[in-house]
Structure 1
Amino acid sequence: MGTSFSTGHACGVAAAGNAHDYAHPHSARRTRSPHLMTRRRIALTGAAGSLAADIIPGLLARGHTIVGIDQRAPVDTFGCEFVECPVNDRAALLTALRGCDAVIHLAGIPLEAEWADILRANIDGTQAVLEVAEQLGIRRVVLASSIHSAGFVPVPTDGSLVPDDVRVRPNTLYGVSKAAVEALGSLYHDRFGLDVICLRIASRFAEPTGERTLSTWLSPADAARLFDACLQVPSPGFRTIWGVSANTRGYLSAEGGAAIGFRPEDDSERFAERMFAASDTDPSLLASDWDRAYIGAFSARRNHHASAAIPHALDLGICYTDRNRNDRHRGQRCLCRTPPLQSFWWCRAGARPERYQP
């Protein structure tokens, strides 16, 4: 596969003093003084993805410059230099990362997929990025992990919070890949001395998409604040940190973020009343039994044994297909969250599994 390079310069902002302009309109607090901020030249992989689109404007507003890297051109480069190459192309990465002093690694398959594809993109790709960063002497790397790396951790029922470094309990093959991403980050810190922060991104959307995400929502503005905090903190070593906003209903700890200077300013609660009102006509917005049991929404290619994990599931007589798809089961309770990457979905109707063709 050929590699093309743009000829423009990495983008930045003319006046760093406007960093606070990117704060959420409902925020009461301001970002730190621009005179105290560290401005970095960042190699950002997965630059054509939606998370990149959420955080790049905020990082630019805080005075950073960005070299975007992806295997396809983004819809909007935000004026940044862009390098088109696969994340596993180490020769191209060596060129793209040269001159940068930090890496934000977002590239990868973001949903459940075939294992060979996940292995190549998410695990091999992460190792390639870390190896090239180490070769070039780049000491700061931020890795996008996921709540799915610990998706089978139970939702606390005693009012406690799930710690940032809770052990991995992946609930999908995708989650397994993110557990491996964290392990690679730990290795490259302990063995080669890189500062690596793994962000366990929870539910990053423009606004919460259902009752569960009232607890796990990460707003786009808070996502930008979080990644900037990872770039500002001196000598973080290796850490895993929840990527989540300051949600009233949250059950993920904020301690890890606070320790690096992350101060989320958004709360999903302002969407709650409208969401519950809408659930009168769209019950799929309400949390499923699975949502109430585990912190990671279930996303799987194969049929799962819900009856073993959720009491009386077989007595519910409900469908387990994706509640967000326009299919014949629209509006019924969903437990499996099967992504649209697969050619078929397994669903349950009572105790009888069937192969469902979309």
Structure 2
Amino acid sequence: MTRRRIYVGWVGVMLLSGMLCGGCEKEIAIWQYPIFWEPGELEAIAVVPFRNTSIQDPEAGNTIADRLAVALAANGTYPKVYNRGDLQALLTEEDLRMLAGGEGDTAAILKRVTAVQAIITGTVSQFDASTQSHQRQDPQYAWDQYGNPYFVGNSIRTFTRNDAIVTVTATMLSTKTGQTIHATQTAQWHMWAEGSPPEMSMDACLAVAVNVVTSQLLAEFAIVGRVIKVKPEEVFRITTGELYDGKWEDKNSFTTADETMTVVINMPAVADRSQFRMTVIRANTKKDLFELDFQWSRDAPVTGQVYIFNPSAIAAGGGGPGEYVLKFYAGVEPIMENRFYIHRAR
């Protein structure tokens, strides 16, 4: 699978991933992988027209399906994405209608689509936009020569509120078995604007809601870049290597005779399969003494994944006892660090 397109535009975010967020939180740029996705398993997928149970727009199902197909094709997770137009050459109108409506023998229909390994279908339950206006009277005053206010009339202003809400669910089905590969959580967005006049029209609110819902669905089916917030003291720690009441005890002092320094990483599950890196340098220097690249897994122990460094070897390579820094990288920039000390063994 070609990943190059996925990376476009995200490198810049990775460069900014070391920004401080709030008090003690850090922002980390990661790749979010669909739970079901494995390299090479799904090379070609198709997006069929979605079932539309909303009231206002009869084309809502086609609109969401088309937007999702375009987003998946641009994303690059799947080398080939068939859209609604492509499917007209693979299936009959009746087949497409039954898939969109969840009717008939879905498995039998899917098995006829030999060009793809999976099909995405779904339901649009809300695709609604509305506008409401009301008038408000504001009293107006003037001042006489003595500085006393007096009523001169009412100013009438029209205030308008525009609302739009889009709600969608989607499912990926295997064309080989007809079984569900992945069913999404409900994707929903409510956009509104209010004012005299409002900053966004009713149609503009609907367009934003469609875009956000499409992005939510994309994140369910494709590899996407996102930024998560973590607390360094919870996800990146140097410890004694021992748990007490289910918690790690921190440690930042070692000797040149010590051969074990236990580093515990405990990233959130959403960082599954994202790549990270740790390096050790002597304080106030730039040379990496040791480095470790690793891939995070959602299957890591609930207490965190343990990595072992050797203080004795670090001191030997770093000029002896002193202060050292363990850095944590997500992308090209270090975003967290822990300082520790190595003393001469007695």
Q: Which has the higher contact order (CA 8 A, sep 6+)?
A: 2
Higher strand share: 2
**Shared fold per TM-score greater than 0.5:** no
**Scaled by the length of structure 1, what TM-score is found?**
0.28
Tell me which structure has the larger Cα radius of gyration. Answer: 2
**Scaled by the length of structure 2, what TM-score is found?**
0.28
